[in-house]
């Protein structure tokens, strides 16, 4: 039987909780020197995908990238809502006498691995470039009971980790073609409370008493493990970097599962919390700042035990102890590939430039 680090010691758990609490109440202090938005380079000719761009941090990230001149794809489960949003943005641009934004909405439902494969296959068949992939979409059913995805996996783990990891892997050919390119994983300080069962990566519904905080934190820990292995396995000449960022504690629709009265109360404690635009700041910084890539490369060269991770104040910081465990990271990597149905040979083939990845996706589809 595999060793589990599934049980965080009480000491580590309490330390994690203190970390999250201190991070929340001090985030305004650490970021008080920052402008509302980072200075962004001209983004004409840059193609970005932002998942979960219909709400909160993703919405603001997508709009600001488009305002800076990038071609932005809103990868969303609700394309009607995204198209309405696009209409509103364009109306604002017209009203302000500035050029229309270069944006489009495409369907991507992370609760369905089939939808992820379809999205990537369509992208790849069109041979589209991809310079920045922002894995932002996420769920935290704070007061919810356990939910199961279309693939019969625990939903936090699927939406926050497994599906974005599959998306990243299947879009690697486009990222490699377009280098320098980067993948930004919107993480969370809550990973400090995460722990993983490597036998099933906490994906089997009903296995143990469900706790949404543990499910969310563990999905964010798994995402960091996966990023760690991907960043260290990609050769430097691939010109693709994987960067994780904690956006801060932000007032968004992430509280949608709380009782209505608590949602209202939550909106009345804004002093410590960021607005969605402030939440997008560190994500935009990681997606566009040239020094972030220099830092990522220095980290890779130094063989540091985690991939680059930035705070909501746009500063590189350490991840939790359990996110630095390389042995655990490789276990998460292997189990993730197994759960999303990617064959062992896939990564090596993509990195060595074997053409025909759309056909590979086809094969995986047929094996379903």
Ligand X SMILES: NC(=O)c1ccc[n+]([C@@H]2O[C@H](COP(=O)([O-])OP(=O)(O)OC[C@H]3O[C@@H](n4cnc5c(N)ncnc54)[C@H](OP(=O)(O)O)[C@@H]3O)[C@@H](O)[C@H]2O)c1
| Min CB(238)–ligand X separation in Å | 25
Neighbouring residues of 105: CB distance < 8 A, sequence distance ≥ 6: 73, 74, 76, 79, 82, 83, 86
Choice between 76 and 133, CB closer to ligand X: 76
Rounded-to-integer distance, Cα 277 and Cα 59, Å: 9
* Residue 326: CB minimum distance to ligand X, A: 24
Angle at 196 between CA 191 and CA 200, to 5 degrees: 135
- Is there a catalytic annotation at residue 216? yes
Up-side HSE of residue 73: CA atoms within 13 Å toward CB? 20
User: Which of 52, 173 has the CB closer to ligand X?
Assistant: 52
**H helical segments located in 136-254:** 155-156, 163-178, 212-233
Distance CA 168, CA 181 (A): 12
Q: Which residues bind ligand X (CB under 6 A)?
A: 51-52, 54-58, 76-78, 108-111, 136-140, 159, 186, 188, 247, 249-250, 252-254
Q: Which lies closer to ligand X via its Cβ, residue 140 or residue 198?
A: 140
Candidates 338, 352, 340, 320; CA nearest to 224 is 320
Shortest spacing between CB 212 and ligand X, in angstroms: 12
What spatial distance separates the first Cα and last Cα of the chain, rounded to whole Å? 28
Under a CB-based contact definition with an 8 Å cutoff, are residues 237 and 297 in contact? Answer: no
Given the residues 216, 309, 345, 346, select the one marked as catalytic: 216
Closest separation between CB of residue 219 and ligand X, Å? 8
Is the Cβ of residue 174 or residue 217 nearer to ligand X in the bound state? 217
Catalytic residues: 216
């Amino acid at each position: 039987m595999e060793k589990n680090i599934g049980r965080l010691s009480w000491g580590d758990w309490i330390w994690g909780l203190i970390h999250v609490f201190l991070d929340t109440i001090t985030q305004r202090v650490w970021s008080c020197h920052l402008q509302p938005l980072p200075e962004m380079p001209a983004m004409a000719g840059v193609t970005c995908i932002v998942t979960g761009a219909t709400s909160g941090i993703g919405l603001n990230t997508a709009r600001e990238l488009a305002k800076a001149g990038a071609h932005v794809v809103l990868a969303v489960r609700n394309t009607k809502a995204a198209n309405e949003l696009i209409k509103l943005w364009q109306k604002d641009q017209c009203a302000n006498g500035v050029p229309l934004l270069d944006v489009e909405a495409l369907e991507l439902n992370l609760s369905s691995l089939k939808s992820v494969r379809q999205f990537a296959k369509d992208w790849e068949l069109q041979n589209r470039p991809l310079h920045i992939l922002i894995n932002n979409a996420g769920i935290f059913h704070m007061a919810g009971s356990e939910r199961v995805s279309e693939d019969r996996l625990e939903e936090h783990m699927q939406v926050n980790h497994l599906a974005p990891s599959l998306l990243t892997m299947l879009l690697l050919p486009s990222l490699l073609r377009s280098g320098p390119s980067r993948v930004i994983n919107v993480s969370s300080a809550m990973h400090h409370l995460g722990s993983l069962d490597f036998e099933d990566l906490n994906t089997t519904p009903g296995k143990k008493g469900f706790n949404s905080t543990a499910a969310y934190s563990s999905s964010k820990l798994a995402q960091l493990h996966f990023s760690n292995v991907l960043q260290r396995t990609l050769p430097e000449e691939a010109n693709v970097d994987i960067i994780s960022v904690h956006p801060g504690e932000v007032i968004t629709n992430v509280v949608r599962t709380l009782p209505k009265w608590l949602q209202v109360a939550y909106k009345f404690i804004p002093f410590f919390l960021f607005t969605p635009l402030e939440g997008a700041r560190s994500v935009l910084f990681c997606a566009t700042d040239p020094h972030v890539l220099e830092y990522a490369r220095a980290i890779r060269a130094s063989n540091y035990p985690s991939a680059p991770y930035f705070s909501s104040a746009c500063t590189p910081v350490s991840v939790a102890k359990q996110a630095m465990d390389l042995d655990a990271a490789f276990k998460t990597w292997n189990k993730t590939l197994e759960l999303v149905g990617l064959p062992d040979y896939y990564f090596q083939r993509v990195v060595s430039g074997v053409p025909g990845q759309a056909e590979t996706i086809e094969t995986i589809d047929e094996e379903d």
